[in-house]
A and B are shown apart, each in its own frame.
Chain A
Amino acid sequence: MKNNKKKVLLIGWDAADWKIINPLMDAGMMPALESLVNNGVIGNIATLDPPLSPMLWTSISTGKHADQHGILGFTEPAPEGKGVRPCMITSRKVKAIWNMLSQSGYKTNVVGWWPSHPAEPINGICVSNFYQNATDEYGKEWPLAPGTVHPRNKEEIYKELRIHPGELTEAHILPFVPDAAKIDQEKDKRLSSIGKITAECSSIHAAATYILENEEWDFTGVYYDAIDHYCHGFMNYHPPKLPYIPQNMYDLYKDVVQGGYIYHDMMLSRLLELAGDDTTVILTSDHGFHSDHLRPKGLPEEPAGPAWEHRDYGIIVIKGPGIKKDERIYGATLLDITPTILTLLNLPVGRDMEGKPLVQAFEEIPKINYVDSWEVIDGDCGMHPSDIQRDPIAEQAAMKQLIDLGYIEKLDDKIERQIEKTVDENRFYLARVLANKNKFTEALPIFESLYKKDYSVIRYAFRYAKCLDALGRYDEAYSVIEKIISSEESKPDKDEKLDDKKNVESQDSHTDKTKKREYPQLYLLKGTLELSRGNYDEALLYLKKAEESDPRLPQLHQQLASVYLKMRKIDDAEAAVNKALDIDPESAIAHNIMSSVKLRQKDFESAADYALNAVGLLYNYPTAHFHLGVALAKLGMFERSAEALKVCLKIAPGFIGACKYLAYIYTFQLKDKEKAAAYIEEIKRLRELSK
């Protein structure tokens, strides 16, 4: 099946963000990336919800959401009730790009992907994500965990390419912290964390470069997690200085994030040199990272709390033969990477994949071939045998049943609680994925069961209420929110002021033990519910209350604008959405609402521009395509309008407004009776369904 000589190098930089990269490139501090950008296409890449890296990187490597691929969080229950462990590749239910390429005869390598342990028996080298973690002090035995390297006969080579943090010297640390000598390392452990992050990504890089230099390859995928780690540890000290960060701490650590990016550029330079000009290089991140005024001051005390620091857009760069040069692409999502690689290699895209090939990156529009699913194509794809593939949640349910029946001894309480919490979190993430795909009826029972299990977990209640709202069950949603607010208000007051000293000196500096975040969010949701119920004055009341608590809450002004639009206060709506864009100029929702404002103001050109901005930021956004279609129709551009409306319908097949416009356009403007009749039929069908 291998049908050409193209090579693809896929590089993953967790959390890389243009907002940090652009000033560094402008200053000439990331020359390797700059050369890639100038000779290829670049764009934002939209993340998925929840923005948790193992789930996201598996979506990148499979082209599928987590409900399909099966990786549902950072951890999973270990087999036979032995507690909790990091998520494993054996829980992935579908083929990754390296499996598809392996079975198509391509020499395929993968290094450090999250998750990729135990290493899969692919047609090439697999170095798992357990490779780089040092388990003991420097100088002591540092064995490879079993299953880290495939094939096993290469283990000795790769074992020697790991760098222990203790092997690093000041020469490796000073570029990040030039005044490191001033730090009392007994009290402040952050220097050692920089060493650990740097050593781990250097180990991954050494393995990847060894493969590129010494092994035959058609595809190599390598994943670096260090940018995310430098950012979680040190973004609070990144310029511009945040008012609550002490000057001495800022002075010490302000270069760490920048240093991390520059180090990645240096590693990229070597990868590009080894890959050669004939290779198509794809550099992507899974999400961005807030680096400006949107940096959260504190984080909620919940599992995966640090994900609050993630931004919705990461980076994508593609460069290689047949790829456009120095151009932008729009609307990319993580789900598009695998279909794009398959198209680059003239292999078919699975119809069951949820992304699309990024054809706008190609100099000539490629022919895209399809198969129903790669899952039904037989052949040695290098996945683990089915008897070691796992479904941890189902296994846990079966285990519980056996314990309840008395066949297995009851687990130790502490372990049992750990497992239960993990399963709950995994189910919570699954429900969020389903809700994100508009599968609210499937998500609802999961949210409901979690909420009923523990009413006090705000994030469960919050998502449950949002899901009820999406299903039009406003009264129930409202009572859930009422219950959380009254329960929160009955709790004793907590000091809402973040302890700066603690924040900067503790390794757990991201844990804000106040509930400050939830209150404005709850009022925001309550306002949204009133909006859904048509109670606009009440909605304004709650949204204003949220504004009092947190005037920079990103979604707040968007909702205010939506209320004003409903109240036909167009100027107020415009002012509110301008505030939203001031807070976050890259909010697709804000651009879309502004498009709606401009349509009401009959400024159709601006309406089209804002709608284009919205779909450029987030392609899977049906109302933005709808607004674009309407604006173009008003401008007399009927063919283009019809295209936009059809995209809207492709994403949201039941969007009756788009059908109405299409019926109008084909009847009165494009004079295509057949197409007009089809849309009129569709309108009738949808009306029947809604009855």
Chain B
Amino acid sequence: MEQKTKNKLVIDTFNSVDDLYDSIDEKGTLGLLAFGATGLLLWRKKREEIKKIKTVIEDTEDEK
């Protein structure tokens, strides 16, 4: 809880699951949980993806 952030209490509208997926960040949102199983699974998938990318970046920096 480092900083105060803007409340996010509405579900954003998305044209497609791809749109939704693109908008997801690592921390997730209440909106994603409210989207139910689909939202939860997409958030987890995105989290894994970000984690992998971070690992690659860290490895690259280590190599430097």
Name A's B-contacting residues (CB within 8 A). Answer: 29, 161, 163, 168-175, 178-181, 183, 191, 198, 202, 205-210, 213, 259, 262-263, 266-267, 269-271, 274
Q: Which of B15-23, B26-34, B56-64 contacts A (4 or more CB under 8 A)?
A: B26-34
Q: Does A266 lie within 8 Å of B8, measured CB to CB?
A: no
Q: Does B55 contact A (CB under 8 A)?
A: no
Which residues of B30-59 are within 8 A (CB) of A?
A: 30-31, 33-38, 40-41
Closest chain-B Cβ to A255's Cβ sits at a distance in Å of 8
Q: Does A205 lie within 8 Å of B9, measured CB to CB?
A: no
Q: Which of B9, B28, B37, B41 contacts A169 (CB 8 A)?
A: B28
Q: Does B30 lie within 8 Å of A163, measured CB to CB?
A: no
CA A180 to CA B4, docked complex, whole Å = 8
Q: Does A209 lie within 8 Å of B37, measured CB to CB?
A: yes
CA A181 to CA B4, docked complex, whole Å = 7
CA A57 to CA B27, docked complex, whole Å = 35
16 A-B pairs besides A171-B30, A262-B9 with CB distance below 8 A are A161-B41, A168-B28, A169-B26, A172-B33, A174-B5, A174-B7, A181-B3, A206-B33, A213-B36, A213-B37, A259-B9, A263-B30, A266-B10, A269-B11, A270-B34, A270-B36
Q: Does B36 lie within 8 Å of A210, measured CB to CB?
A: yes
CA A539 to CA B5, docked complex, whole Å = 58
Q: Does B8 lie within 8 Å of A173, measured CB to CB?
A: no
Q: Chain A's interface: helix, strand, loop or mixed, by majority?
A: helix
Q: List 16 A-B contacts (CB under 8 A).
A: A170-B1, A171-B5, A171-B8, A171-B25, A175-B9, A178-B4, A179-B4, A181-B3, A198-B33, A206-B36, A209-B38, A213-B38, A267-B36, A269-B34, A270-B35, A274-B36
A29 proximity list for chain B (CB < 8 A)? 9
B37 proximity list for chain A (CB < 8 A)? 161, 206-207, 209-210, 213
> What 4 pairs across the A-B complex have the smallest Cβ distances?
A209-B36, A266-B34, A210-B37, A171-B27
B41 proximity list for chain A (CB < 8 A)? 161
On whether A172 and B11 interact (CB within 8 A), knowing A178-B4, A179-B4, the answer reads: no
B36 proximity list for chain A (CB < 8 A)? 205-206, 208-210, 213, 267, 270-271, 274
Closest chain-B Cβ to A364's Cβ sits at a distance in Å of 34
CA A270 to CA B35, docked complex, whole Å = 6
Chain A residue nearest to B36 (CB atoms) is A209
CA A644 to CA B25, docked complex, whole Å = 61
Interface extent on B, as a size class?
Answer: 20 to 34
CA A129 to CA B57, docked complex, whole Å = 43
Q: How many A-B residue pairs have CB under 8 A?
A: 88
Q: Does B28 lie within 8 Å of A263, measured CB to CB?
A: no
Closest chain-B Cβ to A172's Cβ sits at a distance in Å of 6
Q: Does A170 lie within 8 Å of B30, measured CB to CB?
A: no
A198 proximity list for chain B (CB < 8 A)? 30, 33
CA A259 to CA B33, docked complex, whole Å = 14
On whether A263 and B34 interact (CB within 8 A), knowing A170-B1, A181-B2, A181-B3, the answer reads: yes
CA A599 to CA B26, docked complex, whole Å = 67
A207 proximity list for chain B (CB < 8 A)? 37
Q: Does A180 lie within 8 Å of B9, measured CB to CB?
A: no
CA A175 to CA B30, docked complex, whole Å = 8
Closest chain-B Cβ to A209's Cβ sits at a distance in Å of 3
Q: Chain B's interface: helix, strand, loop or mixed, by majority?
A: loop
Name B's A-contacting residues (CB within 8 A). Answer: 1-5, 7-11, 25-31, 33-38, 40-41
On whether A175 and B8 interact (CB within 8 A), knowing A163-B33, A202-B33, A267-B34, the answer reads: yes
CA A180 to CA B1, docked complex, whole Å = 6
Chain B residue nearest to A212 (CB atoms) is B36
Q: Does A170 lie within 8 Å of B33, measured CB to CB?
A: no
Chain B residue nearest to A209 (CB atoms) is B36
Q: Which of A161, A183, A206, A213 contacts B1 (CB 8 A)?
A: A183
B34 proximity list for chain A (CB < 8 A)? 205, 263, 266-267, 269-270
Q: Does A161 lie within 8 Å of B31, measured CB to CB?
A: no
Closest chain-B Cβ to A561's Cβ sits at a distance in Å of 44
A213 proximity list for chain B (CB < 8 A)? 36-38
B30 proximity list for chain A (CB < 8 A)? 171-172, 175, 198, 263, 266
Chain A residue nearest to B34 (CB atoms) is A266
Closest chain-B Cβ to A389's Cβ sits at a distance in Å of 33
CA A138 to CA B4, docked complex, whole Å = 25
Chain A residue nearest to B3 (CB atoms) is A181
Chain A residue nearest to B10 (CB atoms) is A266
CA A262 to CA B40, docked complex, whole Å = 18
A175 proximity list for chain B (CB < 8 A)? 7-9, 30
B5 proximity list for chain A (CB < 8 A)? 170-171, 174, 178
Closest chain-A Cβ to B57's Cβ sits at a distance in Å of 21
A172 proximity list for chain B (CB < 8 A)? 28-30, 33
A163 proximity list for chain B (CB < 8 A)? 33, 40
B25 proximity list for chain A (CB < 8 A)? 171
Q: Does A171 lie within 8 Å of B29, measured CB to CB?
A: yes
B40 proximity list for chain A (CB < 8 A)? 161, 163, 202, 206
Chain B residue nearest to A168 (CB atoms) is B28
B33 proximity list for chain A (CB < 8 A)? 163, 172, 198, 202, 205-206
Chain A residue nearest to B11 (CB atoms) is A266
Closest chain-A Cβ to B19's Cβ sits at a distance in Å of 16
CA A161 to CA B36, docked complex, whole Å = 9
Closest chain-B Cβ to A617's Cβ sits at a distance in Å of 32
CA A676 to CA B40, docked complex, whole Å = 67
Closest chain-B Cβ to A23's Cβ sits at a distance in Å of 15
A171 proximity list for chain B (CB < 8 A)? 5, 8, 25, 27-30
